[in-house]
Amino acid sequence: MPGHGEHRSRRGAEGKEEMNCCAESQILPAELQSADSLRGCLSCQGPSHPVTLRTMLLMLKPEFFDQVGESQYRFCASCDCRVVYFSRERCFTTDDLRIRVGLKEKDGLIPLCYCFGFSEQDVREEIAAEGHTTIPQRISALIKERMCACEERNPSGACCLGEVARAVKHLMQEAR
């Protein structure tokens, strides 16, 4: 089992190690995916899941690094809560991050896929031009090529495909 914050990997045909960050339940160690994963955000009681220290440090503004401490943090998945990361001792909000958290944004350029740079606007434009979007399939193809870096680029520390699918469904309904 990988250590805290590591990706699982496997040996490819050429013997090189390949990353597999989008495989189910492989970003976080099993002990972090326990029944505790049902614990809600301390601010809104909304859904949350554990997030690695590595992910947090890559997202936080540098002035907050020394405030992180040793606690296990969680990502608040509620779109109506400004808290992004929380522990029993500390919360970090959208204002404390270097990037926008698409899930928590209501307007402007809303990021969907952090690895490949797709936004809600990209999906909206493709739907307007073509009547549908191939962005989820393009992301899936890139994931299969092992080109993703979800833990390092996505504030949730997880694969974006679920959020992309929800956004596409909503935007397709909106376009009708």
User: How many whole angstroms separate alpha carbon 5 and alpha carbon 128?
Assistant: 39
pTM: 0.78
Question: Which sequence spans correspond to the domains of the chain?
Answer: 9-175
For the stretch 73-112, pLDDT in tens is 999 999 999 999 999 999 999 999 999 999 999 998 999 9
The number of angstroms, rounded, from the C-alpha of 99 to the middle of its chain's C-alpha atoms is: 12
Q: Contact at 8 Å (CB) between 159 and 116? A: no
The confidence band for 176, taking pLDDT boundaries of 50, 70 and 90, is confident
For the stretch 34-70, pLDDT in tens is 445 457 999 999 999 999 999 999 999 999 999 999 9
DSSP 104-132: G--SSS-EEETTTTEEHHHHHHHHHHHSS
SS3 74: strand
The confidence score (pLDDT) of residue 153 equals 96
The confidence score (pLDDT) of residue 22 equals 66
